[in-house]
Amino acid sequence: MTADLLRHFYEYHFSENRSLWNTYVVPLSQEQYLAEVDYSIGSVRHHLVHMASVDRTWFTELRGLDIPEPLNPAQFADRETLRARWDHIEAEMRAYLANLRDDMLNSKPIIDEEDQDLTVGQVLLHVVNHGTDHRAQLLRLLNGFGLKTVSQDYIFYVYDNPT
């Protein structure tokens, strides 16, 4: 595992998040965006806020800072507010990744007792996998709204974005 390979995985992560947003979230009605669904963690809004919040939490911890309070879905009744916040979180993640070096991957900067034995590399892989998991859950939820969804498999990203 190298810093460059992890940056590549994050380009996939960011690209798939943006594709999900532009292709499926933007066209939703407000009712669909907010609709409580008896699946996983609920509404489209809840899934998206959770994804942004988890990205923010882990990258805050990687910087050796205290865990922030989770984002509250009630603060994101409109998509524009959520998109602006998620863009800010992504920018912070990109700044961290731009400075990532191979020698950092085995370091353990997290101060939270539960997570203090995790390495930077483990956390970075977890965040990408977490995003993949929740995008898959969202695609299933959106399919339930009658939308035709497509695969988010990493290999298709590689085909379209050779290194």
- Residue 52's CB is within 10 A of a number of other CB atoms, namely 23
Domain region containing 32: 3-160
Contacts from 114-119 at CB under 8 Å and sequence distance 24+?
A: 115/61
The amino acid occupying position 113 is: E
pLDDT tens track for 48-64: 999 999 999 999 999 99
Count other C-beta atoms under 10 Å from residue 35's C-beta: 16
Low-confidence ranges of the chain (pLDDT < 50): none
CATH number at residue 106: 1.20.120.450
Domain count, the chain: 1
**Tens of pLDDT along 64-95?**
998 999 999 999 999 999 999 999 999 999 99
CB 12 within 8 A of CB 116: no
Token pair belonging to 128: 């990408």
